[in-house]
Amino acid sequence: MLTARVLAAGLLGCATASCGGGAGDDAPSRATVTDAVAAATTTTTAAARPATTRAAFAFSARRLTPALRHRLNGASWHPGCPVALDDLRYVRVAYVGFDGRAHRGELVVNADAVHATRTAFAYLYAERFPIRRMRLVDDYGASDYRSIEADNTSAFNCRRATGATRWSQHAYGRAIDVNTIENPYVYANGTTTHARSRPYLDRSRHRKGMAYAGGVLVRAFAKAGWSWGGTWPGPTDYQHFSANGT
């Protein structure tokens, strides 16, 4: 039978080893391990059980490695793009999924957008705002449509603005689209091209993962000094946050 002292010692060893404590790809947090051991121990009193803790927010940014350059080249980046590969940064960021667990996602942003990105996602993590997934658009063949269909949160993609000839802010790495199904791009006639987004055309119902005025997602990027496409008169881009508001 486990005593409270043995249980506490085991948790201390776990916290200092490799079984949790940081956000990872579906890796259990320290809180998850603590809860599991406590639940399995029927001889410890509630007072003797250690308090659960939440995994700390994790964020890192680095220059593109040769492997990352190869991954982007010919997909989200190509010669003629308005930003050089040297000016982009690969970001790993913790987020809370729709399952309520901590995950680690990836983005590529401009070097001058790293601070804003960290500010926004640290706030979202602290508020436990849910994000469906966060993968590079290159995993979808650099197709904005396919990335949206996957409800993917992404940033850099060297492409033109929707329905325009000018570069999108995504082509500079200074825009991020969040929860693209829950927050659709809505044309001036009130329609969207993604069938699963149609229930979210009614923005008066505030549901999980949505962006709306005064909500957590909009506040997070406002703290970073970025603007929201949800204020555009039409078309309206509820998923879109950018450094210069376009």
Q: Is residue 66 part of a domain?
A: yes
213 and 236 share one domain: yes
pLDDT mean over 83-107? 98
Same domain membership, residue 42 and residue 128: no
Does one domain contain both 190 and 137? yes
118-160 confidence digits (pLDDT tens): 999 999 999 999 999 999 999 999 999 999 999 999 999 999 9
User: Whole-angstrom distance between the N-terminal and C-terminal Cα of the chain?
Assistant: 62
Residue 164 pLDDT level (bands cut at 50, 70, 90): confident
Q: Is residue 53 part of a domain?
A: no
Whether residues 237 and 150 fall in one domain: yes
Taking CA 122 as the corner, what is the angle to CA 117 and CA 123, rounded to the nearest 5 degrees?
Answer: 105
Same-domain pairing of 26 and 69? no
Rounded to an integer, what distance in angstroms lies between the CA atom of residue 34 and that of residue 1? 17
pLDDT at 162 over 70: yes
Indicate whether 26 and 82 sit together in one domain.
no
Residues 29 and 82 in one domain: no
Q: Supply the pLDDT for residue 129.
A: 98
**How many domains in the chain?**
2
Query: Exposure of 5 by Cβ count < 10 A (0-12 exposed, 13-18 middle, 19+ buried)?
Result: exposed
The share of the chain scoring above pLDDT 90, in percent, equals 76
Considering the domain architecture, whether residues 41 and 69 belong to the same structural domain is answered as no
Domain that holds residue 29: 4-48
Q: What is the mean pLDDT of residues 64-91?
A: 98
Residue 54 inside a domain? The answer is no
The pTM (predicted TM-score) of the whole model is 0.79
| 230 within domain boundaries | yes
Task: Look at residues 48, 68, 84 and tell me which one is the last residue of a structural domain.
Answer: 48
Bridge partners, residue 59, by sequence: 93
- Is the domain of 36 the same as that of 71? no
Strand extents, DSSP E, the chain: 59-63, 88-96, 102-110, 175-177, 185-186, 227-228, 236-237, 240-242
Q: Is it the case that residue 50 has pLDDT exceeding 60?
A: no
pLDDT at residue number 30: 42
